Amino acid sequence: MSGPNDSSGANGGGKDGRRLPGRNRRRFEGISSRAYEHPADRSALVALRKLSGFDTVFKALSGLLPERSLRLLFLSDSVRVSDQQFAHLNDMLRDACYILDLPKVPPMYVTQDPRPNAMCIGLDEPIIVVTTGLVELLDEEEMRAVVGHEVGHALSGHAVYRTILLFLTNLALRVAWIPLGNLAIMAIVTALREWFRKSELSADRAGLLVGQDLQASMRGLMKIAGGNHLHEMNVDAFLKQAEEYEESGDLRDSVLKILNVLPRSHPFTTVRAAELKKWAASRDHQRIMDGHYPRRGEDKDTSVYDSFKESASHYAETVKTSKDPLMKLLSDIGSGAGDIGGRLRDRFTGTPGSGPDSPGRPPKDSQDPPPES
């Protein structure tokens, strides 16, 4: 398999032939989104792509969806990125599409909003939107990773499903007065959000493939979490927060983590940083950088069964190696560990040593000495 090419700008260069960006980056010709997708994200996408007519049905719903309205809104009340407007963002966008070999450069808009945010939506054609808050917050290399993140969404086809998620979320609010109808829609929304959180991890990886600067990706996530105060922040300490978040507390905290993340479309920022750093150090990432990656032409031959098997294996390994109290309990149950009741009590109360096999208590098969007469 041929190795990646060097990129010095979208389509070989910027306007008037100038080289973009300032240093060469590798290009991944014909790369499939399966190369960087999180296993849970990949299995869902492979299954959806295998469903004959699935995208056609979704696109037929476009009359019910606010896509046309959104396009008109951004066209009329935002700034479209081009050679004449936000030219530096246009260069980044074209360069990202060149590196990931996206056939068509999607339209990109800058919209006035102090909150740092970016999104990729659309059924017929993806569009990328970034807020002024994000543009003002990030430096060039950090922004390049974000643009690559959104181009990764476009290459994976996430824009279609995100648009559906937005529509269903709005619909759930409108039918909240119908108990059963609202419950059914919210069940779908909850499942879509879980998938979309994993798709964000996929897009973070795409951003790293485009920017090819892990430190810039880390800085961008830190700024999104804590603002433009890098002199007050530290990458290692930030990643330590992710470890503490996973490891600390008891089962009550594990339940609270689940409740906190359920309404979110994105994973928590420290978790994203830790996941990206782990992937950057993996063999999968190194193989891509060496030019060994799945190609788009092979997507049609991908096995749904193999994708789900890989996803299940990933989740099993996550449960096995996780330091979260709930995940550790599930691992114990799966391995047939004894005295689950005692372990459950210990981890809910956060007081180890209350189980019958705990230190300081006699073994459960021991006998107390008979009382003296």
d(CA 327, CA 255): 11
Q: What is the pLDDT of residues 65-111, one digit of tens each?
A: 556 677 788 889 999 999 999 999 999 999 999 999 998 999 999 99
SS3 114: coil
The structure tokens listed for 35 are 């190369």
**pLDDT for the residue 159:** 74
pTM (two decimals): 0.71
**pLDDT of 373 above 50:** no
Amino acid 342: pLDDT: 54
Which single residue is written with the structure tokens 């046309």?
68
Query: Residue 227: CB partners within 8 Å, gap ≥ 6?
Result: 137
Q: Nearest-CA neighbor of 106 among 49, 161, 159?
A: 159
With 0-12 CB in 10 A as exposed, 13-18 as middle and 19+ as buried, what is 119? buried
**For residues 301 and 46, which has the higher predicted lDDT (pLDDT)?**
301
- What's the rounded mean pLDDT across residues 337-354? 51
Stated as kind and residue range, the H or E segment containing 96 is helix 87-99
Round the average pLDDT of the chain to a whole number and report it: 75
Over pLDDT 70: what percentage of the chain? 54
Q: Compute the Cα dihedral for 11, 161, 117, 227 and give only its sign.
A: negative
- pLDDT of the residue at 69: 75
Instruction: Write phi, then psi, for 19 (nearest 5 degrees).
Output: -85, 130
Instruction: State residue 16's pLDDT score.
Output: 41
Is the pLDDT score of 165 beyond 90?
Answer: no
